Each structure stands twice: as C-alpha cells, then as structure tokens.
C-alpha cells in the first residue's frame, strides 16, 4: 500500500510539474504605465537627442520594416516599446530571436544564409565579415556588386544597430559632455542610478508592472538631476505626440472625405469638400513643419521627405489654381494624387526616420532651393496627370459639355507650363550645387540625364499641342505619359536603377509600385483609346449611312 501511495504521489507531482504549473511565457504583463513614462525618456541616437519612443519605433522599423512584431513564442504582436525595453533589460532572450528582415536572396546567398527564410537573429549575423564595422573590402565589393550596395548598406545598418542594442551601447540615456553614454558604462560613478536601473531590470524580468513603473519614475528623476541642460519633458512629449498623432494619416482621411464631398455635392456647396481638403493640407503642413523643427533642416533630404513635399505641393498648387480660375477640377484632380503620395510615403519601402545628413547635404544653401524647386515641378506634373485623367474620363465616359472641356484643357496647359518652369529652374540650381560640390556643372549622371529627359518630354508634349500635332486628347494623354517619365526620374533612378552620384536619395525596392502603376496607367490609356475609336466609328458619316 505504501508503495502504491509513493508511486501515486510521484505521478501526481510529476503531472503537476509537467502540466499543472504556470507555463513559462514571454508575454509581458500590463506594463503600460511604466512604458508610458519611458516613452518620453530622452536618449541620444543617430546624431540627436530623441525620445525613447522615437528610438524604439525607428529601431524596430529598421529591423522588421514595421512598428510591431510577433516573437516566435508569442501569441500576439508586441509594439516597439515593449520589444526595445525587453531587449534593453534582458538582451539574452533576444539574441536567437529571428528579428532582422533580409529580403534580398542574392545577398543571403553571398553571406550563406538560407534564402528560404526572411528573418534572422543577431546571433546568426554577428560573425559575418561583410557586416564588420571596418571591412576593408567594402568599396571593392560595392564596385563588383553594385546591385547589392543598398541591400548590403541596409543590412550593415541593421547589424550595427543590433550589436548596439544587444550590448546596451545604443541606449545612451545618461548626459555626458557632447555624447551621451549608455547607462551600463557610467553607473559605477553614480550608485543611485545603478540601483534604480537594477530595480527596473528586476521588475521587468519578474513581470511586475507596478514596481517597474516606480523604478522608471525614480530613474527619470535621477537622470534629470544629472545635467542642467537635460532636455525638457515638453520637447520630448511634442515629438512623441507628433509620432503618435501621425498627421499624414489624418491628412489622408480629411482629403478623402473632402474629395468624396466634392464629387457628391452640388457645385454651390462644394466649398464643404474644399474645406476638408484644406484641413488635410494643413495637417500635411503641420507634419512638414514638425519634421523641420525636430531635424532643424529643410524637409527634402531623402525620398520620403520629397514624397511628402510633393503631396503637399500638389494640393497647395491645386488650391491656388482653383482660387485663380474658380473651378473645382484642380482640387478634384489633386486630392487623389495627394492621397496616393501619402499612401506611398507611409509604405514600408520609404524610410521616414530622421537621420543625420551626409556631408554633401550639410552646410549647403542650395539644398533648400534646388530640391524644393524641382519637386514643385514634379507636383505640377502630378497635378497635370490627375487632370489628364479627369479630362479623359469626362470626355469619353461622361460626355461633358465642350466648353467645360475646353476650360479644363486650358487649365491643364497652365499647370504644365508652370511645371516646366519649375523644372528648368530646378535643373539650373542643381547645376550650381553640382559645381560647388563636385566642381562641374553637368556630368551626365543618371539623375541629371533623367531630369533632362523629363524636361524634353514635357517640351515635346506642349510644343506638339501648340503646333497642332495632336489635339486636346493628345495633351491629356501626354500629361499622363509624361508623369511616367517623372516617376523614373524621381524614384526609378534612385530605387530601381540605383546608380549615379545622387546616392544619398537612394534605396532599394519599389518594383511592385512602379510596375503596378505603369500597368494601371497603360490599361487606362488603352481603355480611353479604345473608347475614342468606338465613338469615332459611331459618329462617322459612313456609320450613320448604315443605320436602318
């Protein structure tokens, strides 16, 4: 009996241990109170002081392309704050977590990673020589494998960042002369800080939200006392507010509502729709102004910033022209363009983070003139493209009155003219900058060559229309086709061709967007052409003769 009881007891204990015990989970408890306080903790990263929240979002986006991520053994998505705090306080748990996204198959083959997987852990990447900080063969590698330059640059950035956060070096929260220090290095000097940090770590590891929140407050208070120039809470809160508000998303919604209203309501109350569009433009302006205030430079230093600048420019130009010519057609055309560009800016292809500028973009007055001018030209062409669509849709499928179509044609011509002027001035300003940066005015660099091609294409479109080589339909077709050239000059040269001296605006990806857009436009133009031919046949005298 005693034996039976012993066996029973052992069985029960084993079963309890195996099935009945609290399972080991990686899900953190509700740390929102502590994390909320940590969001505005100032830290030094990427050449500037920023809130912890910005750092967390940018870092996770650099790793995964998104602002949330589901760890392998979790049932839900973790937000950027949870992930970065977790890595900060218990880095060992994350060393084997496949967190770093590497989409390029060729690059994966070269660094001998399994091309079937997309995400890899820091542990797998850290010994790869291509990713070492000072790899002497790097420039040679770029010359022999130019297509892999940007994917490799991105991967090196990911690996360097991963090294920084896994070793704690990236979490520079302690003010120390010009460069801030990570807390782990300087804590020997300040014992109270060390204690608070240990409390923080302990509370997180033991999954205790309340002590965690208390430790965060304590640490923050101590850090604030370390320097008289410690950043103000209000400044950090503003940046967090800007990031959380996401003015561009709101601008998208406002513009969409405004556009729908303009389409739906009668002309006399179309100001309601215009008001929403103006509100959307105000939000875009707010977004751009916030970036200028945060970064302290003109908001035109990379592809993301030029896209949001063009989105703003399209709506602004449409409003000016609408006021000048008293017509809705500009806003009707501009709203979808603005929305499309905002959507593109918010996609994962473009990097929205504010990064330190390359030497060529610093200390340079021409940046503030050349890029905004040339991109305002692109904004005009984007608006003209939208108007080209409106013209064809109205003419071919809605049978709009000829006088309204003539007015629209005139407006299309005006906007194309303005775009051409901006483009020419922008090209010459670019020449001035090239002269001061590289010592020459023109060098047939792909970006320069495509700017010239764009200029010649639009000159041809307008000249052909003026010389009666093609009709108003031709002008509308030209406005749509011309924008395909703009897309190549603006986006394709940097992201698709990936060559030339304008590499500071470069990146990789976006094939899907370009191909999708080209196919959609081609389909639209074929449909328009087809409808034109059918209508011509129906309206021809021969056709009428055949009628019974």
Partner 1 sequence: MKKTEPTSRKRVSLFRLAAIVVQITGLSVITVVLLSGLALIGVLGTLMESLGDSRTVQAWVYDAGWFHFGLGLLALNLLCGMMVRWHQRWNFTGSILVRAGILLVLLGAFMDNIAGFEGRVVLSKGEPPARRLVSEESILMVEHPPTGDVFSKPFTGERVLPWWPQKLSLPNTDTVLIIDRFTRNLLEVLSPEAGRLPFVAPALRGYLEQPDGKRGTAVWMPLGVPVDLKLGEEHFRSAYTLKIIPLPFGLELLKFEIPRVPGSEQPANFISLIRFCESNVNHDVEKQIRMNHPASYPGGWWRSALGLNIKFSQAGWDPANPTQTVLQAVYDPGWGLKWMGGLMVCAGVFVLLYFSPRWRKA
Asked if 459 is part of the footprint of partner 1 (rule: CB under 8 A), the reply reads: yes
Helix (H, G, I), strand (E, B) or coil at 173: strand
Asked if 231 is part of the footprint of partner 1 (rule: CB under 8 A), the reply reads: no
Q: Are 508 and 154 in contact (CB under 8 A)?
A: yes
Distances 216 to 28, 50, 79, 226 between C-alpha atoms, Å: 16, 17, 18, 16
- Window 178 to 217, contacts with partner 1 (CB under 8 A): 178-180
Asked if 109 is part of the footprint of partner 1 (rule: CB under 8 A), the reply reads: no
For 63, what's the count of Cα atoms within 13 Å in the CB-facing half-sphere? 30
Choice from 9, 10, 93, 146 touching partner 1 (CB under 8 A): 146
Asked if 473 is part of the footprint of partner 1 (rule: CB under 8 A), the reply reads: no
Nearest alpha-carbon partner for 278 in 331, 327, 333: 331
Distance CA 42, CA 227 (A): 12
Write the secondary structure of 470-504 as one string of H (helix), E (strand) and C (coil).
Answer: CCHHHHHHHHHHHHHHHHHHHHHHHHHHCCCCCHH
Q: Are 495 and 510 in contact (CB under 8 A)?
A: yes
Choice from 466, 520, 523, 527 touching partner 1 (CB under 8 A): 466
| Helix (H) or strand (E) run with residue 68 in it | strand 68-69
Asked if 103 is part of the footprint of partner 1 (rule: CB under 8 A), the reply reads: no
Asked if 112 is part of the footprint of partner 1 (rule: CB under 8 A), the reply reads: no
Tell me 95's DSSP state: T
**Taking phi first (over 0 means left), then psi (-120 to 50 degrees means alpha), and beta for anything else, what does residue 27 get?**
beta
CB of 71 to partner 1, least distance (A): 28
Distances 97 to 93, 117, 314, 457 between C-alpha atoms, Å: 8, 13, 43, 51
CB of 459 to partner 1, least distance (A): 7
The site string for partner 1 over 343-362 (x = CB under 8 A, - otherwise) reads: -------------x-xxx-x
Q: With respect to partner 1, which residue has the nearer C-beta, 69 or 321? A: 321
Asked if 471 is part of the footprint of partner 1 (rule: CB under 8 A), the reply reads: no
The site string for partner 1 over 409-428 (x = CB under 8 A, - otherwise) reads: ----x---x--xx--xx--x
Asked if 457 is part of the footprint of partner 1 (rule: CB under 8 A), the reply reads: yes
Asked if 368 is part of the footprint of partner 1 (rule: CB under 8 A), the reply reads: no
The site string for partner 1 over 36-75 (x = CB under 8 A, - otherwise) reads: --------xxxx----------------------------
Q: Are 208 and 193 in contact (CB under 8 A)?
A: no
| Contacts with partner 1, residue ranges (CB under 8 A) | 44-47, 133-134, 136-137, 140-141, 143-144, 146, 172, 178-180, 356, 358-360, 362-364, 366, 413, 417, 420-421, 424-425, 428, 431, 433, 436-442, 444, 446, 449-450, 452-453, 456-457, 459-460, 463, 465-467, 493, 496-500
């Amino acid at each position: 009996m005693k034996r039976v009881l012993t066996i029973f007891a052992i069985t029960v204990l084993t079963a309890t241990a195996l099935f009945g015990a609290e399972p080991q989970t990686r899900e953190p408890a509700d740390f929102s109170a502590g994390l909320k306080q940590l969001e505005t903790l100032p830290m030094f990263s990427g050449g500037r002081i920023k809130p912890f929240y910005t750092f967390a979002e940018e870092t996770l986006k650099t790793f995964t392309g998104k602002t949330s991520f589901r760890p392998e053994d979790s049932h839900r998505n973790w937000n950027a704050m949870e992930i970065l705090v977790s890595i900060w306080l218990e880095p060992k748990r994350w060393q084997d977590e496949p967190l770093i996204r590497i989409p390029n198959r060729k690059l994966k083959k070269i660094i001998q990673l399994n091309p079937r997987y997309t995400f890899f852990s820091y542990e797998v990447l850290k010994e790869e020589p291509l990713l070492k900080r000072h790899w002497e063969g790097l420039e040679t590698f770029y010359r022999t494998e130019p297509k892999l330059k940007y994917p490799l640059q991105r991967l090196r950035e990911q690996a360097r960042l991963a090294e920084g956060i896994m070793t704690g070096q990236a979490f520079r929260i302690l003010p120390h002369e010009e460069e801030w220090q990570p807390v782990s290095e300087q804590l020997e000097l300040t014992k109270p800080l060390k204690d608070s940090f240990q409390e923080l770590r302990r509370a997180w590891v033991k999954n205790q939200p309340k002590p965690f929140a208390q430790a965060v407050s304590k640490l923050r208070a101590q850090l604030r006392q370390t320097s008289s120039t410690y950043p103000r809470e209000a400044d950090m809160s503003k940046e967090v507010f800007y990031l959380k508000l996401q003015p561009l998303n709101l601008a998208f919604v406002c513009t969409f509502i405004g556009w729908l209203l303009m389409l739906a309501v009668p002309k006399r109350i179309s100001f309601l729709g215009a008001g929403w569009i103006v509100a959307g433009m105000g939000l875009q302006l707010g977004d751009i102004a916030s970036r200028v205030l945060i970064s302290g430079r003109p908001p035109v230093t990379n592809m993301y910033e030029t896209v949001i600048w063009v989105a703003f420019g399209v709506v602004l130009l449409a409003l000016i022209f609408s006021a000048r010519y008293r017509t809705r057609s500009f806003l009707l055309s501009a709203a979808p363009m603005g929305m499309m560009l905002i959507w593109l800016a918010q996609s994962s292809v473009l990097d929205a983070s504010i990064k330190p500028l390359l030497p060529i973009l610093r200390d340079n007055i021409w940046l503030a003139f050349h890029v905004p001018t040339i991109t305002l030209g692109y904004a005009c062409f984007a608006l003209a493209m939208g108007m080209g669509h409106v013209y064809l849709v109205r003419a071919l499928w809605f049978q709009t009155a000829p006088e309204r179509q003539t007015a629209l044609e005139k407006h299309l011509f005006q906007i194309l003219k303005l775009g051409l002027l901006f483009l020419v001035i922008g090209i010459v300003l670019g020449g001035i900058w090239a002269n001061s940066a590289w010592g020459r005015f023109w060098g047939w660099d792909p970006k320069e060559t495509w700017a010239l091609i764009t200029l010649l294409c639009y000159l041809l479109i307008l000249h052909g229309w003026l010389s009666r080589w093609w009709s108003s339909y031709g002008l509308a077709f030209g406005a749509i086709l011309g924008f395909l050239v703009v897309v190549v000059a603006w986006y394709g040269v940097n992201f698709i061709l990936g060559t030339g001296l304008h590499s500071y605006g470069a990146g990789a990806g976006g094939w899907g967007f370009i191909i999708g857009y080209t196919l959609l436009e081609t389909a639209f133009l074929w449909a328009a052409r087809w409808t034109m031919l059918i209508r011509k046949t129906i309206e021809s005298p021969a056709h009428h003769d055949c009628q019974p």
